[in-house]
């Protein structure tokens, strides 16, 4: 009987691991597609207006889902932590990244923002007591090397210090800190509640840009509005739900390493959807990212 119970537990654990991996892959695919959507929508909408628009749509959609499920609100302590995630990840990260991408090319921005997954296992090792597994750190280093190769291959102007670089590095820091803050919340609060409340807080932070959004929306094409809606419902709403599901079932460090799949997937989607032919060197960088993620997540 004990042997049968042990096998059942192992089967359930393996099933949970595979579901978490599947959710993580859905997340990185959706987040990679966001780079395509942002490039399309930002032709007619400013970063601040786009951030407010997608956060508002995501907040409304997720709020309706919360009402349908009748989930109770988290405790005041958890609400404060969720607000922290909303300010740093949903608001400041998005604004800093999109403003940074206006000042440096996409390749350089991707290379700089990918400092974030390196910071996550370091911060998680200290504040979440996840330790510093050598395989995880080695995998992150390999994947980061791949991100540098991709960034160098797709960079148009090279790496130069400036305000754009500072903004991209700030976005990486905001992202890493928010992931570490979100991890313990998932033991007490559902991913749906966290995503909805964080998106709502992010929208409130961006509310001063409402005038900009209202001024730009009437002149935007239908395609631009469609991309904004997709960015809200796909990469933001669904992407953060699957992220929360996966993060709850693994360490913050391993989940952070998974995001190194975003650059190669984004390059592939840009090739397929926008006709952007990637440089040959970008394929080598993508292979390094894949190898690094495999090494970091391998048990």
Decide if 1 is inside a domain: no
Confidence of residue 107 (pLDDT cuts 50, 70, 90): low
Closest CA to 28 of 280, 258, 199: 258
Confidence of residue 266 (pLDDT cuts 50, 70, 90): confident
Q: What pLDDT, on the 0 to 100 scale, is given for residue 153? A: 75
Q: State the average pLDDT over residues 64-75.
A: 92
Q: What pLDDT, on the 0 to 100 scale, is given for residue 57? A: 97
Q: What pLDDT, on the 0 to 100 scale, is given for residue 14? A: 82
Q: What pLDDT, on the 0 to 100 scale, is given for residue 106? A: 61
**C-alpha to C-alpha distance for 90 and 62, rounded to whole angstroms:** 14
Total count of domains within the chain: 1
> Does residue 157 have a pLDDT over 60?
no
Decide if 18 is inside a domain: no
Decide if 32 is inside a domain: yes
Q: State the average pLDDT over residues 96-119.
A: 77
CB atoms closer than 10 angstroms to residue 173: 17
Confidence of residue 279 (pLDDT cuts 50, 70, 90): confident
CA distances from 67 to 61, 144, 229, 235, 239 (A): 10, 41, 21, 21, 20
Decide if 14 is inside a domain: no
Confidence of residue 38 (pLDDT cuts 50, 70, 90): confident
Decide if 236 is inside a domain: yes
**C-alpha to C-alpha distance for 48 and 207, rounded to whole angstroms:** 9
| Mean pLDDT of the chain, nearest integer | 88
> Does residue 110 have a pLDDT over 90?
no
Least confident of 42-46, 150-154, 257-261, 281-285: 150-154
CA distances from 236 to 22, 61, 78, 118, 132 (A): 17, 11, 21, 22, 30
Percentage of the chain modeled with pLDDT above 90: 54
Decide if 269 is inside a domain: yes
> Does residue 158 have a pLDDT over 60?
no
Residue with more model confidence, 247 or 4: 247
- Contact call for residues 81 and 139 (beta carbons, < 8 A): no
> Does residue 168 have a pLDDT over 90?
no
Please provide the size of the chain in residues: 299
Q: What pLDDT, on the 0 to 100 scale, is given for residue 236? A: 95
**C-alpha to C-alpha distance for 148 and 211, rounded to whole angstroms:** 38
Give the domain range for residue 233.
23-297
Decide if 15 is inside a domain: no
Q: At what angle do helices 163-185 and 94-101 cross, to 10 degrees?
A: 160
Confidence of residue 176 (pLDDT cuts 50, 70, 90): very high
Decide if 6 is inside a domain: no
Tokens of 202: 């992010």
Q: What pLDDT, on the 0 to 100 scale, is given for residue 285? A: 84
Q: What is the pLDDT of residues 121-140, one digit of tens each?
A: 999 999 999 988 989 999 89
Least confident of 9-18, 74-83, 196-205: 9-18
**C-alpha to C-alpha distance for 212 and 226, rounded to whole angstroms:** 18
> Does residue 101 have a pLDDT over 90?
no
Residue with more model confidence, 80 or 158: 80
């Amino acid at each position: 009987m004990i042997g049968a119970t042990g096998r059942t537990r192992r089967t359930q654990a393996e099933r949970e691991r595979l579901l978490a991996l599947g959710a993580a892959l859905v997340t990185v695919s959706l987040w990679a597609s966001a780079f395509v959507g942002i490039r399309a929508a930002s032709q007619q909408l400013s970063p601040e207006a786009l951030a407010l628009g997608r956060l508002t749509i995501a907040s409304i959609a997720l709020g309706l889902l919360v009402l349908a499920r009748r989930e109770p609100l988290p405790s005041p302590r958890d609400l404060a932590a969720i607000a922290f995630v909303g300010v740093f990840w949903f608001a400041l990260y998005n604004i800093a990244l999109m403003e940074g991408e206006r000042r440096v090319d996409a390749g350089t921005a991707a290379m700089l923002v990918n400092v974030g997954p390196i910071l996550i296992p370091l911060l998680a090792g200290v504040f979440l007591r996840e330790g510093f597994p050598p395989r995880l750190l080695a995998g992150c280093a390999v994947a980061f090397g791949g991100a540098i190769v991709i960034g160098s291959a797709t960079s148009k102007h090279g790496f130069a210090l400036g305000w754009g670089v500072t903004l991209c590095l700030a976005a990486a820091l905001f992202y890493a800190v928010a992931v570490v803050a979100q991890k313990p919340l998932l033991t007490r609060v559902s991913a749906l509640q966290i995503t909805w409340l964080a998106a709502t807080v992010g929208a409130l932070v961006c509310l001063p840009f409402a005038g900009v959004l209202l001024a730009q929306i009437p002149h935007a094409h239908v395609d631009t509005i469609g991309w904004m809606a997709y960015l809200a419902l796909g990469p933001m709403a669904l992407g953060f739900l699957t992220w929360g599901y996966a993060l709850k079932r693994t360490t913050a460090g391993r989940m952070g390493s998974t995001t190194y799949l975003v650059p190669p997937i984004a390059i592939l989607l840009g090739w397929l959807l926008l006709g952007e032919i990637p440089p040959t060197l970008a394929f080598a960088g993508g292979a390094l990212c894949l190898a690094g993620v495999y090494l970091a997540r391998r048990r």
